[in-house]
Structure 1
Amino acid sequence: MKKIIINGNKPLNGEVTISGAKNSTVALIPASILADSVVTLEGIPNIQDVHSLIEILLEFNVKVEFEEEAGILTIDPSKMISIPMPNGKIKNLRASYYFMGAMLSKFGEGVIGLPGGCYLGPRPIDQHIKGFEALGATVRNELGAIYLRSPEEGLIGDRIYLDVVSIGATINTILASVKANGRTVIENAAKEPEIIDVCTLLNNMGAKIRGAGTDVIRIDGVEELKGCRHTVIPDRIEAGTYLTAAAAMGEEVLIKNVIVEHIEGLVAKMEEMGVDMEIGEDSILVHESSDLKMTHIKTLPYPGFATDLQQPLTPLLLKAQGDGTIIDTIYPKRVNHIPELRRMGAAIKIESDTIILNGPNELTGVEVTASDLRAGACLVIAGLMAKGQTTISGVENILRGYDGIVEKLTALGADIKMIEE
């Protein structure tokens, strides 16, 4: 069992380079199997989710090479076979559900175990299924696995209105429709940067997709897709995580490889709080910031404040003066970090899905558990701020989505290490 140990209250200085986006990567990898020749992905983060996806590809007889240091992933799906994967590795990974759309598109069939990943309350896949069925597929759920089959004549393009804005359902419907006959129109589509990234890859492979990044996406089906090279966008959630750590404990920290417009919601809130930042073209320099003002956070679909950033921002809010609230409209039950912060001495509580904070707080190091990926990021930042030693369990959850977090923070001057017990 891995644990992270942090001796807190140490100033951070230096620079950190943001890795490729986890939430893009986990969709780009399944999208790559739609090609009939080699796809090379650059800027891939060395995280557990990527290794899990590689293991799934190997079971499908896809040839894969991952140069971890360089972040280059080569995928050759030319000898891929369609085999049922009702459980095992595919179940442990939330993003494995993108294989549903990809397998349906490539083979006209698929058996995929229902996804795992972080438990953040109910995450239904009814909109994914709605998309597949609109294209003519038959979908049935048996014993926690989804059985997909397209009709004899193949999938047929159609107009699909998603009842809720869903990144997963938008991407899965795109994957299913790129080789369908005729035109597919997805309305009320999600607009996240990761969706644009996936559509850029697919268009480079020969797909005909227009409107990615808007709420109406049009796809004209093509007969074949070919391999290409593609560089993943930087991880906006990782960028936001290091921004908040730098604002909390930094003297002068430069965060490089950032697309600033992807985190405008966070940057605006941090400026509102009084964080001293210099915004560059693809970097942000954070100066020492004191006398922070408390604010109110409400998470919304992109371009609103990202649900994945409410947990990493919480420790910084605890440093600010006044009363604040956090309302997560995407995952109202995303509150597992709150009891852990209370154990560290935070004046924070939950009242009917609203997180209420009073500040400023002096945090003290204790033993805490990372229940999910972004709760883990929150506790790491809280540990950097706390007096004394913080021991974090559930580290596997953090390693699922943060590439080299211990090394990156150590380089900034944090006293942090990972141990195995």
Structure 2
Amino acid sequence: MDKIVIEGGRRLEGSTRINGAKNAALPIMAACLLLHGPSRIRGVPNIVDIETQSEILKNLGGEIKRHEDGTLEIGFRDGENEGKFTAPYELVSKMRASICVLGPLLSKRRKAKVSYPGGCIIGQRPIDLHIKGLKALGAQIETTEGYITASVERLKGAEISLMGQYGITVLGTCNVMTAAVLAEGTTIIEHAACEPEVQDLANFLNKAGAKITGIGESRLTIEGVQELHGVDYEIIPDRIEAGTFMIAGAITRGDIALENVKVEHLSAVIDKLREIGVEVTPVGNSVRVKGNSSYHPVDLTTLPYPGMPTDMQAQFMALLCTVEGKSVITEKVFPDRFIHSPELQRMGADIRVEGSCAIVSGTPFLSGTNVMVSDLRAGAGLVLAGLVAQGTTHVHRIYHLDRGYERLEKRLTDLGAVIKRIHD
């Protein structure tokens, strides 16, 4: 098992390019099950979650080829894979986004058997809204022995609300959308997720021949079509990776430029960084982040898009641990998502968790020590803390990081960090 070792205290300088969004690529890859003919998906990061999704699609009859430029070719031979409709536990248990094959399988092959998904342990993430939406389209669904088994003669359009006890559902919106594009009639999704990754999936499907309107709004209208065709499509840049690198520049009081950024997807992140005192300057598809020695404490609350992403909460916590004064982080997406705080406390951070709030009091310095990664974004937060900690930080269980960040230690090294991966 590998670990990352960081010698803290280096100011980051230089530039790096942001990869395509993993959370856009995964449902788009699953949507290729719907298409007649192969597709080329450009800008796909070379990370573990993409490898896992590729294996799931191969298990369902997909032919997948990766090119060095980050392009994936994905195709399914019509008429040869109707009997393949099972996404097994050993693959689906590795990440939650694998549930995205449920809608396309049901729509295209009329049957689906998908294991309950795994992934990061960050709180309650039920799939009841996925099942509710697909049932509204006419699917017969049973949940037994750890599998969701669904079947239908023909999906039919319906009006569906995807608001649940825990709010709206991003992956549930993706599943219902991909099921509805080949359904008979019109489907209206109320309380649809508006995240850029959901919009990217809708734009991909429209390019393939779907008829989806209301993209980016909470009310999606989908007119079913007879067939979808293969396309050449480039996914959006990863806003969470961009935000992580922005905080890397800020926490080290550095000066870095990020290329391939959609600034409009990062409004909440940029606004909060500026409130802290970080200089953020967008220039076209790039953004410059310049830190300084005078930061201010802030309060922030995670919310669905366009609010502060929950996937940026751990990174902001690491930054605020270094800011003099008291900051309050309120987690309204996954209220239990503070499992990284004890590890930051091991580094000397002053954090008090009270229910869905974390009170962070900035300390003069953090100290390098051994820390353990519990989930993907928590791991990013610990690496960021290690960049400024005095001494050496050993970050263990970095396989979580490999799920979502391509060559993270190499790219930070290129910016001036002293960081390396070693076999533990």
Aligning the two structures, in what range does the TM-score lie when normalised by the shorter sequence?
over 0.9
Q: Which residue of 1 aligns with 2:138?
A: 136
Query: What SS does the corresponding residue of 1:345 show, helix, strand or coil?
Result: coil
Q: Which residue of 1 aligns with 2:109?
A: 107
Q: Within 5 Å, give how 1:189-228 maps onto structure 2.
A: 189-228=192-231
Query: What SS does the corresponding residue of 1:74 show, helix, strand or coil?
Result: strand
Query: What SS does the corresponding residue of 1:160 show, helix, strand or coil?
Result: strand
Q: Which residue of 2 aligns with 1:338?
A: 341
CA distance in 2, matches of 1:288, 1:309: 18
Gaps in structure 2 of 5+ consecutive residues: none
Q: Given the alignment of the two structures, is residue 5 of structure 1 paired with residue 5 of structure 2, yes or no? A: yes
Q: Within 5 Å, give how 1:380-391 maps onto structure 2.
A: 380-391=383-394
Query: What SS does the corresponding residue of 1:92 show, helix, strand or coil?
Result: coil
Residue of 415, 418, 422 corresponding to 1:415: 418
Which piece of structure 1 moves more, 127-136 or 81-90? 81-90
Q: Which residue of 2 aligns with 1:284?
A: 287
CA distance in 1, matches of 2:117, 2:211: 29
Contact 1:26/1:53, CA 8 A, preserved across alignment? yes
**Residue-pair matches, total:** 418
Q: Normalization by structure 1: what TM-score?
A: 0.98
Query: What SS does the corresponding residue of 1:33 show, helix, strand or coil?
Result: helix
The one-letter code sitting in structure 1 at the alignment partner of 2:299 is H
CA distance in 2, matches of 1:80, 1:401: 30
Shift in Å, 1:283: 1.2
CA distance in 1, matches of 2:46, 2:387: 23
CA distance in 1, matches of 2:360, 2:93: 36
The one-letter code sitting in structure 2 at the alignment partner of 1:365 is G
Q: Which residue of 1 aligns with 2:58?
A: 58
CA distance in 2, matches of 1:306, 1:75: 30
Contact 2:332/2:356, CA 8 A, preserved across alignment? no
Q: Within 5 Å, give how 1:68-107 maps onto structure 2.
A: 69-78=68-77, 79-81=80-82, 82-107=84-109
CA distance in 2, matches of 1:184, 1:108: 18
The one-letter code sitting in structure 2 at the alignment partner of 1:230 is Y
Which piece of structure 1 moves more, 71-80 or 390-399? 71-80
The one-letter code sitting in structure 1 at the alignment partner of 2:85 is I
Which piece of structure 1 moves more, 137-146 or 278-287? 278-287
Which piece of structure 1 moves more, 45-54 or 247-256? 247-256
Q: Which residue of 1 aligns with 2:129?
A: 127
Shift in Å, 1:361: 3.6
Identity of aligned residues (%): 40
CA distance in 1, matches of 2:10, 2:417: 6
Query: What SS does the corresponding residue of 1:387 show, helix, strand or coil?
Result: coil
Gaps in structure 1 of 5+ consecutive residues: none
Q: Given the alignment of the two structures, is residue 232 of structure 1 paired with residue 235 of structure 2, yes or no? A: yes
The one-letter code sitting in structure 2 at the alignment partner of 1:258 is V
Contact 1:345/1:361, CA 8 A, preserved across alignment? no
Q: Deviations over 1:11-52 (max 9, x none)?
A: 111001100001101111101111010110000001100001
The one-letter code sitting in structure 2 at the alignment partner of 1:165 is I
Query: What SS does the corresponding residue of 1:100 show, helix, strand or coil?
Result: helix
CA distance in 1, matches of 2:374, 2:324: 28
The one-letter code sitting in structure 2 at the alignment partner of 1:50 is I
CA distance in 2, matches of 1:335, 1:363: 18
Q: Normalization by structure 2: what TM-score?
A: 0.97
Contact 2:85/2:109, CA 8 A, preserved across alignment? no
Q: Deviations over 1:268-300 (max 9, x none)?
A: 011111112222121111223211000001001
Shift in Å, 1:250: 4.2
The runs of at least 4 consecutive aligned structure 1 residues that moved more than 3 Å come to none
CA distance in 2, matches of 1:97, 1:243: 30
